[in-house]
Structure 1
Amino acid sequence: MVKFPETKKVDLTEEIYGYKVSDPYRWLEDTESPEVGAWLDEQDKFARSILNSLPLRGELKEEFRNLFYEETIGFPHSRKGRYFIVRRKADQNLEVLYTMEGLNGEPRILVNPNELSKKAGSVINLAGYSTSKDGKFISYGLSETNNDQAKLCVMSVDTGEKLEDEIPGELYPSPGSWSLDNKGFWYTRRKADAPKGEEKFHRKVYYHRLGTSFDQDELVYGKDLDKQAVPFAYETHDGKYLILTVRFTSGKARYSDSYIMDLADRSRGFVPIVEGIQGDGDTYFGATVHRGYVYIATNYKASLGKMMRVPVSQVEKGVTAWEEVLPEGKGVLEHTVLVQDKLFVTVSENVHSVLREYTLEGNLKRDIDLPTPGTCQRFSAEPEGDELFFLFESFVFPPAVYRIDLKTDKAELFKQMKVNADISDVQTNQVWYSSKDGTRVPMFLIYKKELTLEGDNPILLNGYGGFNISRRPLFMKGILPFINRGGVYAIANIRGGGEFGEEWHKAGIKELKQNSFDDFISATEWLIEHKYTNSKRLAIEGGSNGGLLVGAVMTQRPELFKAVIMSVPVADMLRYHLFHGGRYWIADYGDPDNKEMFPYLFKYSPYHNVKDGVEYPTTLITTSDKDDRVHPGAAFKMAARLQEVNKENLIVLRVERKAGHVGAADVARFIESSVDKWSFVFSELNITK
């Protein structure tokens, strides 16, 4: 029998809509209390006693050091002949922001978090940046905990001088969009006097004028805006217009409004491009101004997405004046880039990117060849520039930056990440399986070529299935030690994600959330049925909404899995909306305060469905103490409840200190967390060498 650290159990039972709800570990939600701090110290001691004793730790640490202490390639952004790039040298812990005069110019350091961290005595990381239109100024974020709070700073690029302007991180400022005259920038933050507990709400658009204090910034938009709405504004490249997008999350589904303001005549205010239009599910409208037209990407009445446009001069006529540029196709519209007289578009077809070039009117000019089935992401081009950069990668193709010369239309490899490992024997395969209700679901498998199907391969299955987010083919260095030892890494593209548009998303939310769990369970059953593995050599993992996923399926089908890795989980579905920005998620999960929705949430909420007398799989729960997205109290409660009922299988809680939702920013701590995770997986799946 395992002896877990003692955890106080409080007799707390409530009756909610006729259901008796027990919550004996609610006191762990008070993460700032000394009592919870003492409990965490004991959990840390227990976790280290387990994790430090696992075999292969030293070997894995050396492998991860070789994999992650290597130079990154960065991604270039151009501004009038000056380029900006964020990358890290092989011996550095944190990424550095550089500028170059010309694409092949000598890199000059602008922001070096390694030096800032050394001076501060603790980690400070770069958290995004924005450049002025001529590349002479930058606004950039600095975070002390790698969470959503980042102080906004300003620098003169010519001199490298940090200006006195600062906007506090606790206001959640965005990097901003610079005005053409370089006198300031438009940005989003919350109001300074937001009530306690609502620090992530009350966001508004402000204009910051250089040389003034942030508390004097002009309120541009949002005075009477719903507290959960999120507005963002950007100034067009020519300085003529301000484009405003407002995302609404408090209704039955998310939707967005878009507006345009003529900066030469601000007295007219924001003129609606699209306002108040809601579809059957989440509905988005993304507006961009280019060569006299407003281009609008939307999924309204087009689950997979389409593109419309309207002359700027006719915006006030409404949607009746819009013309179609790109109709809904067979793939999900993902990225659109307007540059010169060209429109570049990526669509996802069966979870692989297709890159195409069109005229501004929507006439297809060509398909652009990609090196292998994979993912296009991150595009960069000046609207009237002569080059376009994009990033491409896949499970077996390391990230590579490509440059398209718009004078010759030639696409060439600009730079590709080097990997300190042999990946020539690694291959990927996409399979399809039937879920419980017959829906066909795709799954990616990554493994070494000599894999045999004898029902005994170690497998780690990953999933997400929420918020219209797609799990795409990306290069993951961290799985190579597992793959090289005969493991199979699997990703199930379950419903709730965005792999096949809004209909796929809607099929895995609210009352239909169980579809996500059924899809994931069916993936495990398919892997076992097709002789890839068995339950004793099968582990599952997921983070955030994926943490909810693995928490739900382990409580529904504990016999299917040998081990579970549950990261930053949304584990309490009855109280998730009470912390940080949790209310933003109601459109996906449903409102626990709604009498009709409550039974669905209660039925699958991981914390509430841990049963006495059931032995659950060995589980590693990971979270961070400064996570301001998913409250760490949910992970604490889940760990305490599982430790209460399990007798034989380990339940280990690993808490990263001074870190946010995505963990630590520095490579050193990332490696330590990777060693803990993978040595845990290796031990549970009986990988001994």
Structure 2
Amino acid sequence: MAESTPLPYPQARTVDQTDIYFGTPIADPYRWMEDLDAPEVAAWVKAENALTQGWLSEVSERNALRTRLMELINYERFTAPSRRGTRFFYTHNTGLQNHPVVFWQEGLDGEPQVLIDPNTLSADGTVALSGRRTTDDGSLTAYSLAEAGSDWITWRVRDVTTGQDLPDVVAWSKFSSAAWVKDNSGFFYSGYGEPTETTLKTANYFHKVFFHALGTPQTEDVLVFDRPDDKELNLHAEVTDDGRYLLIAQSRGTSPNNQITLMDLATKEVHPLITTEEAVFDPIDNVGTVFFFRTTLDAPKGKVIAIDLADPARERWQTLIAETENPLDTVSLVNHLFIAQYLADAQSHVELHRMDGTHAGTLALPAIGTAGGFGGERTDTETFYTFTNFNTPATVYRLDLTTLGSRIYRQPKLAYDPAAFATSQVFVESKDGTRVPLFLTHRKGMALDGTNPTLLYGYGGFNVTLQPAFSPTYVLWMEMGGVYAQAGLRGGGEYGEAWHEGGMKAKKQNVFDDFIACAEYLIASGYTSSPKLAIQGGSNGGLLVAACALQRPDLFGAAIAQVGVMDMLRFDRFTIGWAWKADYGSPSENEDEFRAIVKYSPLHNVNAGVAYPTMLITTADHDDRVFPAHSFKFAATMQAAGGPNPALIRVEVRAGHGAGMPLGKRVEMIADEYAFLVRALRMEFRLETRA
């Protein structure tokens, strides 16, 4: 519904900038917004934030939303413990801490000791723990820090017993874990070397693997492996549990397919094992020269194979666990059992197999939901996992692998009753007849009279699977009388590689059609109506939301597009955007892909005067994953189009793509998003908060 008074949008000048793509002129009047450090851009952002906050300030329920959200967030959160030597490591958040704290203890009954408390690293909480890896004996932990949400990370090393850092500092690492050698003398990591330019816009190419020897400066780190012949390969290094080999996976951009190279750490000999990118090869473990992989080779939904380095010819590869109707998501090897985690209609399903591949049992899970964890070494007799769904936060279970019996190890206490809500799964027919899974969660006994505010969430890309997962924000939304709907769209990994490919490149429109079909189902089934229906998604999901809002403006009452990829003709020119060509295509290199992309690119499909849904576009000033100018240019274009409904933008400061954001910023952002929905959907509700 249109607002009565047009908003006084800040002025955004236009420039005469036109690019030619395969003979087609494309105007880019807000190109100047790509200069993030320009005073003019800063002034525009400040004015836009002021406008948005002014609009939201008229929502009287915003403070109540913030208060109730803090109550719902205030519960203990644990991760599943992992054993290193005689010590167990895990994270714990008491409830309202900005970041979880890393603890360790001797045995499962030992006294917990703080290892790393990220909350002490910065006054505003914007320095976050990005990753960590502990030596096999539990004596040293390499940990990485990210500032203001950046993808750039810096590694440090902490002595577990003393809690003190060693002098070692390794900077300019990105998209990397740490892989310790067996004698604890150092670790492998990935990065690009020190860049000559460090703006958010700078593209990163030629990923490399380095080795850092403890006690030496980073300038002496050894370049272990690189691919100067191919700048678009991402490299990931892991040391095998026996300490004998370094496995280096090489993948192109965001494609899940990869090559595998092995280095014998005793002889330094390099063995190219998988030399093509025709499938996924995910290392599981090895016994001597026999390596086990989860692969999609000739099995789009995944299988487990064994390759013997002594006789590595492809015709000698052995299939241990054959492909099934359900996608094989991850596999670990604990107690000489393959723990195979499958996706059954986007829900977890766990099977156990002996090392010869024979079936050993099925793990009983509590309900519709998502299981994760199952770490450990081949000789361990137990493992830990978490289980969660939309209305229940992660509970940690201890699994005895000799009896296959599970028992609760840690379970949080909550500020609400999970039994008040119900989750169901339905299947929606998309435009071309494809069956799309849709989870629905809401208060029990809700009437299907078409009046319920409904939030439809989606992603649909990069082989990412949306499974049932808990968030206090979902509970808040349901307490407000809302329905939370989560769609498993093509482009994701819900049904294996064929499902992923069904939403890639020239087939990207399938993703939007799936999402639109889910929205139409919610209306036709009486859950909601167009004026009460909102859509939300982030990153690739922000692209999804913007594209669907532009293609079917009549279908939605509101849209929240978070950190979205909006300029689909220039995404590959910023930071790591080139890596997305594996999913989106190459608009400046391939004419057919350009013709497909320009039809849905949000920035290039805004029409003047159209009653688009009331829209909130969000981004952050330090987002070096999806360059903020995507959202800046799209917001300016939407506002200039002069439609009757508001098009607002909210720019978070000292924040990035989302990871590592401190609690205060997260709560303010969510409260603003829900206040936006209250006004845009004209919601009426009453929240009960604790005294």
Coarse TM-score class (shorter-chain normalised): over 0.9
1:413 positional shift: 1.5
Structure 2: unaligned runs, 5 residues or longer: 1-5, 686-691
Q: What does residue 110 of structure 1 align with?
A: 115
Partner amino acid, structure 1, of 2:37: E
Moved more, 66-75 or 589-598: 66-75
1:57 aligns with 2:59: no
- Helix, strand or coil at the partner of 2:7: coil
Partner amino acid, structure 1, of 2:622: K
In the TM superposition, what whole-angstrom CA distance separates every residue of 1:90-129 from its partner, at most 9, and x where no partner exists?
34222211111111211111211222223xx663211110
Q: What does residue 565 of structure 1 align with?
A: 560
Q: What does residue 134 of structure 2 align with?
A: 131
1:76 aligns with 2:76: no
1:464 aligns with 2:459: yes
The alignment of Structure 1 onto Structure 2 pairs a total of residues equal to 676
Partner amino acid, structure 2, of 1:422: D
Structure-1 separation of matches of 2:310 and 2:353: 24
Q: What does residue 43 of structure 1 align with?
A: 48
Q: What does residue 231 of structure 2 align with?
A: 227
Asked if the contact 1:616–1:642 (Cα under 8 Å) also holds between the matched residues in 2, the reply is no
Structure-2 separation of matches of 1:173 and 1:478: 28
1:303 aligns with 2:300: yes
- Helix, strand or coil at the partner of 1:335: strand
- Helix, strand or coil at the partner of 1:550: helix
1:248 aligns with 2:245: no
Q: What does residue 591 of structure 2 align with?
A: 595
Structure-2 separation of matches of 1:513 and 1:583: 17
Within the candidate set 504, 508, 512, 2:499 is matched to 504
1:43 positional shift: 0.9
Q: What does residue 676 of structure 1 align with?
A: 672
Structure-2 separation of matches of 1:641 and 1:330: 45
In the TM superposition, what whole-angstrom CA distance separates every residue of 1:361-407 from its partner, at most 9, and x where no partner exists?
11001101100121112332123222211121112332111111234
1:647 positional shift: 4.2
Q: What does residue 149 of structure 1 align with?
A: 152
In structure 2, relative to structure 1, the CA distance for the partners of 1:588 and 1:91 (3 Å cut) is closer
In the TM superposition, what whole-angstrom CA distance separates every residue of 1:298-350 from its partner, at most 9, and x where no partner exists?
11111111110023433xx3222210011110101011111232111111111
In structure 2, relative to structure 1, the CA distance for the partners of 1:222 and 1:663 (3 Å cut) is closer
Within the candidate set 92, 97, 103, 2:97 is matched to 92
Partner amino acid, structure 2, of 1:134: D
Within the candidate set 289, 294, 297, 2:291 is matched to 294
Asked if the contact 2:391–2:474 (Cα under 8 Å) also holds between the matched residues in 1, the reply is no
Partner amino acid, structure 2, of 1:117: S
In the TM superposition, what whole-angstrom CA distance separates every residue of 1:415-461 from its partner, at most 9, and x where no partner exists?
12332112211011111111111111111111111111112211111
1:153 positional shift: 0.7
1:417 aligns with 2:412: yes
In structure 2, relative to structure 1, the CA distance for the partners of 1:237 and 1:458 (3 Å cut) is same
Structure-2 separation of matches of 1:195 and 1:255: 30
1:664 positional shift: 5.6
Within the candidate set 211, 216, 224, 1:212 is matched to 216
Structure-1 separation of matches of 2:175 and 2:394: 30
Partner amino acid, structure 2, of 1:200: N
Structure-2 separation of matches of 1:543 and 1:52: 24
Moved more, 512-521 or 393-402: 393-402
Structure-2 separation of matches of 1:570 and 1:622: 11
- Helix, strand or coil at the partner of 1:117: coil
In the TM superposition, what whole-angstrom CA distance separates every residue of 1:545-594 from its partner, at most 9, and x where no partner exists?
01001111111111111100000000010001100111111011110112
Q: What does residue 540 of structure 1 align with?
A: 535
Q: What does residue 663 of structure 2 align with?
A: 667
Q: What does residue 649 of structure 1 align with?
A: 645
Moved more, 415-424 or 73-82: 415-424
Structure-1 separation of matches of 2:637 and 2:379: 58
Asked if the contact 2:565–2:626 (Cα under 8 Å) also holds between the matched residues in 1, the reply is yes
Partner amino acid, structure 1, of 2:294: A
1:167 aligns with 2:170: yes
Q: What does residue 365 of structure 2 align with?
A: 370
Structure-1 separation of matches of 2:153 and 2:56: 32
1:375-386 matches, within 5 Å, as 375-386=370-381
1:429 aligns with 2:424: yes
Moved more, 35-44 or 66-75: 66-75
Within the candidate set 185, 188, 199, 2:187 is matched to 185
Within the candidate set 340, 343, 353, 1:348 is matched to 343
In the TM superposition, what whole-angstrom CA distance separates every residue of 1:126-182 from its partner, at most 9, and x where no partner exists?
1110001111001101122122122111111121111111111x4426231111111
In the TM superposition, what whole-angstrom CA distance separates every residue of 1:61-91 from its partner, at most 9, and x where no partner exists?
1111111133212221110110111221234
Structure-2 separation of matches of 1:173 and 1:583: 15
Structure-2 separation of matches of 1:125 and 1:663: 8
In structure 2, relative to structure 1, the CA distance for the partners of 1:194 and 1:586 (3 Å cut) is farther
Partner amino acid, structure 1, of 2:59: L
Asked if the contact 2:127–2:660 (Cα under 8 Å) also holds between the matched residues in 1, the reply is no
Partner amino acid, structure 1, of 2:301: L
Q: What does residue 275 of structure 1 align with?
A: 275
Structure-2 separation of matches of 1:207 and 1:20: 48
Moved more, 97-106 or 196-205: 196-205
1:648 positional shift: 2.9
Identity value in percent = 37
Asked if the contact 1:258–1:287 (Cα under 8 Å) also holds between the matched residues in 2, the reply is no
Q: What does residue 624 of structure 2 align with?
A: 628
Structure 1: unaligned runs, 5 residues or longer: none
Structure-2 separation of matches of 1:223 and 1:60: 51
Q: What does residue 688 of structure 2 align with?
A: none
Structure-1 separation of matches of 2:524 and 2:177: 50
Structure-2 separation of matches of 1:673 and 1:624: 11
1:195 positional shift: 6.6
Asked if the contact 1:231–1:245 (Cα under 8 Å) also holds between the matched residues in 2, the reply is yes
1:21 positional shift: 1.3
- Helix, strand or coil at the partner of 2:243: coil
Asked if the contact 2:84–2:136 (Cα under 8 Å) also holds between the matched residues in 1, the reply is yes
Partner amino acid, structure 2, of 1:672: E
Partner amino acid, structure 2, of 1:276: T
Structure-1 separation of matches of 2:257 and 2:230: 13
Moved more, 572-581 or 589-598: 589-598
In structure 2, relative to structure 1, the CA distance for the partners of 1:673 and 1:151 (3 Å cut) is same
Asked if the contact 2:352–2:359 (Cα under 8 Å) also holds between the matched residues in 1, the reply is yes
Q: What does residue 66 of structure 1 align with?
A: 71
Q: What does residue 32 of structure 1 align with?
A: 37
Partner amino acid, structure 1, of 2:307: V
Structure-2 separation of matches of 1:199 and 1:98: 37
Partner amino acid, structure 2, of 1:178: W
Q: What does residue 519 of structure 1 align with?
A: 514
Structure-2 separation of matches of 1:444 and 1:407: 35
Q: What does residue 3 of structure 2 align with?
A: none
In structure 2, relative to structure 1, the CA distance for the partners of 1:663 and 1:37 (3 Å cut) is farther
1:523 positional shift: 1.1
